[in-house]
Amino acid sequence: MQNKASWPETGTLLRVLLVSALVALGIQYFLGIEVNMYVEAPYSSTDLLFSSHYSLGILVVAIGMGVLAVSILTRKPFAVLASLVAFVAMATAGQAGRVYTFSSHVESYSLIMAVAFLVAFASYFVEIILLSRSPAP
75-98 pLDDT tens trace:
899 999 999 999 999 999 999 988
Q: What pLDDT does 1 receive?
A: 41
Using 50 as the pLDDT threshold, list the residues of the chain that sit under it.
1
Residue 36: per-residue pLDDT: 82
How many CB atoms are closer than 10 A to CB 78? 14
pLDDT at 63: 96
pTM of the model: 0.86
pLDDT at 101: 81
Q: Which long-range contacts (CB under 8 A, 24 or more apart) does 124-127 make?
A: 124/18, 124/21, 124/22, 124/25, 124/67, 124/82, 124/83, 124/86, 125/22, 126/82, 127/18, 127/71, 127/78, 127/79, 127/82, 127/83, 127/86
Residue 120 C-alpha from the chain's centroid: 6
Q: How far apart are CA 32 and CA 100, in angstroms?
A: 12
Q: What is the pLDDT of residue 4?
A: 56
